[in-house]
Amino acid sequence: MSFDYHQKTKHSYESIRNSPNHLDWSLQPSALKIYNQFEDIIKLDGKSDIHNFIYRLGGITAKKTYPGTEYFLRTLPSAGALFPVEIYFQVREVKGFKDGIYHFDVANSSVKFLYALDGDGVESAFNDNRAVKGFIILYSTIYYRSSWKYKDRGFRYCLLDCGHALGALEASAYLYNHACVIRYQFDKIMLNKAFGFGDQEFFLSCGILGIPKTDRIETFNMHLEDINPQFERNEMIEMAYQDSLDLISCKSKYTFSEFSFHKEIFEETIFKRRSIREFTTSTITKASYETVLEIALKPVMSDCDEEVQLYCFVNAVEGMERGLYLNGKCLKEGDFRQKAGYFCLEQALGRESAVTFFLTTRSQNYQSAYQKAGIIGHRIYLLSEYLKIGCSGIGAYYDDETKAFLQTDEMILYGVAIGT
């Protein structure tokens, strides 16, 4: 059924022109959720490793102001700067925190204490319900923030944005010197109710940084009230979420991917990362391209790892023939700049980049596959900044025409362009 959703939300040359999207910017929903009714706050002051770990998950790095509007830049990119992903976490036996449930109050660079654990916890939503000493980071999406602009296709962006959030978690965990396991298999419906989400918000995934204990957690007694102020229901997105909840034949991957970045420079990279707006058509080095590809293809530790392919339009890489590549192997040589730009809804980004990637899958597990594409996209973003080249994510493309050129029947999940 999630495949039906993907089919129904495809872009084509005709659909873009026949269904223009006119926005009333005065109705844009807020990208910041604030639990004003809770007063127990921990300010993230940057003076401890734990505070820095949390802030890197999605903290504000800059503010952009334009006539009549302003928006924030954060440690993770978001389509249209809409930021539909919210971050909650459970803490158990962590110095400086009471055992309980917290919300990352991005607007105030703080975390709010929502609920005190009393023999219960979110572990009850997992098949392996052993208590976790450490962090369980929970990611939800308020889908109207994306569907307000992107309509039915908004769920795709929610999943990609959540993948980027998981990528930010992976990066922060690396600097925190702690392994992180991503989980997609847990009782999301139960947690949606416990957090009081109603129809407006729902959980997509979580990351665990902790050590399982011997005691089992059987219940979770928290009951919050919904506080989302602006909402317009989208039945297609709600159905797509429900249809893609049950995961099929998941293969777990617990291979730890080792990174070897200079940590101070990588820390700066996280805070300096931006989406480039235009490329110069200049070349990048073969070493830069190979480094990006190597890191992008490293395993992602999760309980439902899906195979995602990287098709690469190599437009301007020193020492490489121009052409179409798959996971680093040349499929056909040629100058395909114009085609890459056309497939990206005729955007110059796809045409003028040094490399334009398209991420594809034939997975039946829509949510986990799409989020993995976001994780890979986030790795490419950070590696590009680390290597002093630019990057831009491209969530809109002509689905069928791109598939036809790639000669694949797989779903197109994401486009990412890099260059200078």
Q: How far apart are CA 79 and CA 51, in angstroms?
A: 26
Whether 130 and 233 map to the same domain: the answer is: yes
Buried b (16+ CB within 10 A) or exposed e, 303-312: bbbbebbbbb
Whether 230 and 83 map to the same domain: the answer is: yes
Mean pLDDT calculated for residue range 235-252: 95
| Domain stops at, among 243, 267, 302 | 243
pLDDT, tens digit, 9 for 90 and up, residues 72-131: 899 999 999 999 999 999 999 999 999 999 999 999 999 999 999 999 999 999 999 999
Identify the residue with better confidence: 38 or 3: 38
Q: How far apart are CA 340 and CA 346, in angstroms?
A: 8
Whether 6 and 131 map to the same domain: the answer is: yes
Whether 228 and 283 map to the same domain: the answer is: no
What CATH number is given to the structural domain containing 308?
Answer: 3.40.109.10
Structure token digits, residue 299: 């395993």
pLDDT, tens digit, 9 for 90 and up, residues 12-62: 999 988 877 778 887 889 999 999 999 999 999 988 999 999 999 999 999
Whether 132 and 54 map to the same domain: the answer is: yes
**Residue 172, Cβ neighbours under 10 Å: how many?**
25
Structural domain including 284 reads 275-419
Structure token digits, residue 104: 């990352």
Q: How far apart are CA 58 and CA 238, in angstroms?
A: 25
- Report the side by side order of strands in the sheet with 323-326: 329-333, 323-326, 309-314, 355-361, 411-419, 390-394
Question: Is residue 368 scored above 90 in pLDDT?
Answer: yes
Q: What is the pTM of this model?
A: 0.97
Whether 238 and 279 map to the same domain: the answer is: no
Question: In 176-268, where do the E strands start and end?
Answer: 181-183, 201-216
Whether 237 and 281 map to the same domain: the answer is: no
DSSP designation for 302:
B
Structure token digits, residue 326: 């798959």
Number of domains observed in the structure of the chain: 2
Whether 237 and 297 map to the same domain: the answer is: no
Bridge partners of 208, per DSSP, are: 136, 181
Is residue 398 within a helix (H) or strand (E), and if so which, with residue range? none
pLDDT, tens digit, 9 for 90 and up, residues 266-301: 999 999 999 998 999 999 999 999 999 999 999 999
Indicate the residue type of 341: G
**Residue 412, Cβ neighbours under 10 Å: how many?**
24
Q: How far apart are CA 175 and CA 178, in angstroms?
A: 8
